[in-house]
Copies of this chain bind each other. A is one copy, B any other.
Amino acid sequence: MATPHEPKQDRSRATRQRLLEATIDCLAEMGWAAATVAVVAERAGVSRGAAQHHFPTREDLITGALEYMFDTRMDQAKAEALTIAGVAEGAGRTQAVVAGLVESYTSPLFKAALQVWTHAAADPVLRERIVPLEAKFGRIAHRRAVEALGVDDSDPVAHHLVQATLDLARGLGLADVLTDDSARRKEIVQQWSATLHSALTAPR
């Protein structure tokens, strides 16, 4: 929170961040149509004028939120990788990697991103902004998973199984949007981790 001793620049940065976090919460909980500058400002406890100073249009707010989501997902993936690095290699490590990946696709961040992706499906301008960010995120998420699993990405079997694991995680994320799918998901993660580990360590 802002204090009288906080420099003006820091206060401005904190306000901007509060607005972006409120945008993600609004998207995840109330959907695309509700995430307007006015609603987000109210949720963030920021005056409408201050919100409009940071984000003059809704388009600016959504674009800002997209970049913020991207950065947050990167930070989370980095933190996840550090946690995983502490797990001994073997089947347990594989399960920790798969579980971590899958959980990241059930967060409010994923639910907010889903609102933006779905809207962008019919909005070429928004789509053009998202596609390069998603491509970059996909490459980095893949690289981090390869590193965490300790596999050789030049092996096509390993490469495609890591990709499939990311696709599975996305599908499990989508299955969690309308109902709490956590009990079923836990069993899928366990089974896929075991199958993946066998396939990655099988002699070829």
Interface residues of A, Cβ cutoff 8 Å to B: 29-34, 111, 114-115, 117-123, 127, 130-131, 134, 156-157, 160-161, 163-164, 166-175, 177-179, 184, 187-188, 190-192, 195-196, 198-199
Contacts and interface: CB of A to CB of B under 8 A. Distances in A.
Nearest to A26: B122
Contact of A199 (B111, B123, B177, B198): B198
B121 A111 contact: yes
Given A161-B191, A171-B174, A114 B122 contact: no
Given A34-B122, A164-B168, A178 B115 contact: no
Most interface-central of A111, A121, A177 (chain B CB within 10 A): A121
Contacts of A130: 178
Q: How many copies does the complex hold?
A: 2
A172 B173 CA distance: 12
Nearest to A105: B171
